[in-house]
């Protein structure tokens, strides 16, 4: 991956993560997104910043794992990096989204966030594996090393 492309991907991940964390904090401030058994419990509601900070921190770590899976330089194959990222995020997403009944809104938004990251890794990994399979069947090197701009193309013939 070229340096400029890597910067764009990191910038997009950072922008999406900051926006998602800000939205999770916004949701957490609204008592309408919480479950109360009785109407009078709503009047006694207190905001728990520790729980919100924990969920937002988890969202940051998950985004970091997904971003590193896409922009890291090792291993060379993008599909393999996505698979490694899925080995981390897949079981975590299954474990963290088992309980959804009566969860606060920001926790439910976290569930959507982690499954979005899993979906992105699956799509990128499948697309990369299809491309690498196509290049392998065509007989070209999978990393396109023959297309390096520093090498004189006439010397390859």
pLDDT tens-digit readout, 100-119: 888 999 999 999 999 999 99
At residue 136, the 3 state secondary structure works out as: helix
For 140, the domain range is 3-40+48-149
**pTM of the predicted model, to two decimals?**
0.84
Q: Residue 100 domain-assigned?
A: yes
What percentage of the chain's residues is helix, strand, coil (to nearest 5)? 75, 0, 25
Total number of domains constituting the chain: 1
Q: Residue 155 domain-assigned?
A: no
Judge if the upstream peptide bond of residue 75 is cis by omega within 30 degrees of 0: yes
Below-70 pLDDT ranges, the chain: 140-157
Q: Residue 154 domain-assigned?
A: no
Q: Are residues 21 and 59 in contact, defined by beta-carbon separation less than 8 angstroms? A: yes
């Amino acid at each position: 991956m070229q340096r400029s492309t890597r910067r764009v991907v990191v910038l997009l991940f950072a922008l999406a993560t900051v926006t998602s964390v800000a939205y999770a904090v916004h949701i957490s401030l609204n008592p309408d997104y919480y479950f109360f058994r009785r109407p009078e419990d709503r009047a006694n509601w207190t905001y728990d910043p520790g729980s919100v900070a924990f969920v937002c921190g988890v969202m940051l770590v998950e985004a970091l794992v997904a971003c590193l899976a896409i922009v890291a330089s090792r291993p060379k194959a993008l599909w393999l990096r996505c698979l490694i990222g899925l080995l981390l995020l897949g079981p975590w997403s299954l474990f963290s989204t088992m309980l959804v009944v009566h969860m606060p809104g920001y926790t439910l938004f976290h569930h959507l966030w982690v499954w979005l990251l899993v979906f992105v890794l699956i799509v990128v990994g499948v697309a990369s594996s299809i491309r690498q399979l196509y290049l392998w069947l065509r007989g070209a090197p999978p990393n396109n090393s023959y297309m390096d701009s520093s090498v004189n193309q006439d010397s390859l013939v």
